[in-house]
A and B are shown apart, each in its own frame.
Chain A
Amino acid sequence: MSEKEILMQVRDLSVEYNTRLGEVSAVDNVSFEIYKGEILGLVGESGCGKSTMGKALMRMIQPPGKITSGQIIVNGEDIMAYDQKQMRDFRGRKVSMIFQDPMTSLNPVQRVDEHIIEAIQVHEPDTNTTEALARAQTLIQRLGIRKNRMKSYPHQLSGGMRQRVMVGLGLVLNADLIIADEATTSLDVIVEAQLADQLRDIRETFGVSLLVITHNIALVAELSDRLAVMYAGHIVEMGDVESVFDTPLHPYTKGLLKSIPNIKLDDTEKLYKMPGEPPNLTHPPAGCRFHPRCPFAMSICSQVEPEFSEIVPGRMVKCWLYLDHPDKEEATIEVTA
């Protein structure tokens, strides 16, 4: 793990939405890193801030939302300091994004080849159309779309094909990181599996890193190397996929994993239902944001927010159960690697 190169370092990133009911803290002081060539899964419930975070990494938060603090360091440069023009160059070339709904993510009046040629020429104005077309064709065939589909309009393609076009658009400029925001959610299971396969494939071929944002834990288990679990604007746990699945540390992760329906579940066994509801982020709970729903909550949890700490090498968790504190009454749980 340690010899891996860091591609993107996120430090203390916070995003707030200014609404009529007050400031909504959608992402709160989140720090993590994405390594070169890895697939990082980011899971969490709806509304936990995972999509907001994906957009924030490209500085694409639209008003009334705002990135209120933090650094995003790529290749030693903090992109928060970039101006509009540098940002435009950054988007698409360094980091690209695949969106949830392939039905609406392509311009309905633009053909597939026009999309790709445009993406190339925006970043490389010197590339002529013939050359760009040739590149587009090679890429599109590699993604398993037939060449004669190049002249199609988005509505003439299936959902899976459109999503592959989106992947192609992300790849055409050799981006280092592709953020897939619920990219497979609206596809049926078979197409979803194909796309997941394809994502793994392009990691091998192109050496890109992938940030897979999803609420589909099964997909993440299948696809990613590392896993980050988000709850109410915080990353509460992070580690490599096997260990998080084998020994979840954070009570929220434990509950989340127990809530996955399993066909092998006995008739006598019941599916775990997490008590309570996700908190209202205009007034998040004090201390640990999970404490009102936590079966292991201690008195300290409602008072002081725990640090996101590395408990064992490669495993981070944000929970008092694993941290020492002078006022703490219960014993700290020791975890061995």
Chain B
Amino acid sequence: MSTSLRRFLVTRLLLTIPMVLILVTMIFFVMRVLPGDPIRSQLGPRVSEEQADALRERLGLNRPLYIQYFDFLWDMVTLDFGTALTQGERPIRDELGERLPATIELTIPAITLTAVIGIFSGAYAAKNRKKPVDYIIRLLSIAVYSIPIFFMGLIFQIIFSVRIPILPLSGRMDTLLLTNFTSITNFYIIDAILTRNWPALWSVLMHLVLPSVTLGLALSGVFVRLTRVNMIEMLQSDFITAGRARGISENKLVYRHALRNTFIPILTMLGLQFAILLAGAVLTETTFSWPGVGRYLVERIQLRDYTAVQATIGIFALFVAFISLLMDILYAFIDPRIRY
């Protein structure tokens, strides 16, 4: 690692601190400005003032706001995250420890699928520009982009688990297998491999197919179009013409020379989408009863569970910062002109 790269990394990591700080501060205050509070959401409207005060005192919500704020910041810094205000008041770290792995296990195959489908069909369409196959790919990309994701999920469920029952309908694994399944990391794939529980591994993988295909396909539309547009531009550049004049085959020019030069914008988009995916897989998670962090967040926002929402969003911010940092490092590997 060169010194300049190290300096770049340190700068970027330091810049992450104010970014996350601003975000969590905003969330802290916005949550408290919203109508409703965790007391009412749990006790209901017909409860006496004394009971409400008792709960408020127990949850620490009667303390001055600035104390709550610094308390929350301290929890974030120590990565303790505090306890949730609702749903059994469990430590948030435990709750997210169950939810976050589920979401990551769903989003990694989904984003991989998105990249593979999007980049290759985009490049193929660019290569065959203005031919029928180009129009078909473009049409399909608009279709998958505009079909609501839960609708696409439902269609897949009807086809592949109701009409032709080859894939499980929902959940992370077979409930029958769950009884003697030991979860260590909550990443079920890793757990199954660690405990050498092969039937469970198979079940987990099968359960992953429909949700990750749905999510991956829905996102791929953007990448088809992004790749296609960048590739068309790249295929008109001088070095492609020069390569053609050297007798290099069209396939090599498209998939090796041009494609590598379009990776930068694609990678940027991929990084941004991955961040959105973590939080935004709510619809897919709901459709497939996937116990992920997207559903968790929606549920806790509705309950006005201040601490749970704050902590979750803080963690998202860290994820986004980390992924964009990763992308910046990857740029330098792809394009020799970029040096830090």
- Residues of A with Cβ closer than 8 Å to B? 58, 60, 88-93, 96-97, 99-101, 104-111, 118-119, 122-123, 153, 155, 166, 169
Contacts and interface: CB of A to CB of B under 8 A. Distances in A.
Contact of B239 (A88, A104, A119): A104
B195 interface: no
Given A99-B242, A99-B245, A105-B242, 4 more contacts: A88-B247, A104-B238, A105-B241, A109-B336
Contact of B261 (A100, A101, A108): A108
**Interchain residue pairs A-B with the least CB separation, the first 7:** A92-B247, A92-B246, A104-B238, A91-B247, A97-B245, A153-B336, A105-B242
B74 to A, nearest CB: 47
B20 to A, nearest CB: 34
B242 A91 contact: no
Contact of A110 (B238, B246, B249, B257): B257
Interface of B: 237-239, 241-249, 252, 257, 260-261, 334-337
Contacts of A153: 336-337
B247 A107 contact: no
Nearest to A58: B245
Given A109-B260, A155-B337, A93 B245 contact: no
A265 B261 CA distance: 50
B77 to A, nearest CB: 41
Interface of B is mostly: helix
Given A108-B335, A153-B336, A153-B337, A90 B247 contact: yes
A108 B238 contact: no
A109 B334 contact: yes
Contact of B246 (A108, A111, A169): A169
Contacts of B246: 91-92, 96, 119, 122, 169
Contacts of B261: 107-109
Contacts of A93: 247
A91 to B, nearest CB: 4
A123 B249 CA distance: 10
A332 B334 CA distance: 66
11 contacts: A91-B246, A99-B238, A99-B241, A99-B242, A100-B238, A104-B237, A104-B238, A105-B239, A105-B242, A108-B336, A153-B337
B254 to A, nearest CB: 13
B330 to A, nearest CB: 13
Contact of A106 (B239, B247, B249, B252): B239
A123 B243 CA distance: 13
Given A60-B241, A99-B238, A109-B261, A123 B335 contact: no
A96 B248 CA distance: 12
A110 B258 CA distance: 11
Given A153-B337, A155-B336, A107 B239 contact: yes
A90 B247 CA distance: 7
Contacts of A118: 248
Contact of B245 (A92, A108, A110, A111): A92
A88 B246 CA distance: 8
Nearest to B243: A107
Contacts of A122: 246-249, 252
A43 B334 CA distance: 41
Contact of B238 (A96, A101, A111, A169): A101
A63 B169 CA distance: 50
Contacts of B337: 108, 153, 155
B337 to A, nearest CB: 5
A120 to B, nearest CB: 10
Contacts of B248: 88, 92, 118-119, 122
B261 to A, nearest CB: 6
A332 B159 CA distance: 85
A101 B238 CA distance: 8
A97 B237 CA distance: 15
B255 to A, nearest CB: 13
A110 B238 CA distance: 14
A88 B336 CA distance: 29
A107 B242 CA distance: 9
A58 B248 CA distance: 13
Contacts of A100: 238
Contacts of A89: 247
Contacts of A97: 242, 245
Contacts of B252: 122
A110 B257 CA distance: 8
B113 to A, nearest CB: 26
Contacts of B336: 108-109, 111, 153, 155
Nearest to B242: A105
A158 B216 CA distance: 44
Nearest to B238: A104
Best-buried of B238, B239, B247, B260 by chain A (most CB within 10 Å): B247
B105 to A, nearest CB: 33
A56 to B, nearest CB: 12
A92 B241 CA distance: 12
A108 B239 contact: yes
Contacts of B257: 107, 110
B340 to A, nearest CB: 16
B245 A96 contact: yes
A107 B248 CA distance: 13
A84 B174 CA distance: 55
B230 to A, nearest CB: 14
A93 B245 CA distance: 10
Nearest to B237: A104
Nearest to A101: B238
- Give the one of B239, B334, B337 with max A CB within 10 A: B239
Contacts of A166: 242
Nearest to A54: B245
Contacts of B238: 99-101, 104-105
A302 B203 CA distance: 84
A88 B249 contact: yes
Which of A104, A109, A118, A122: most chain B Cβ within 10 A? A109
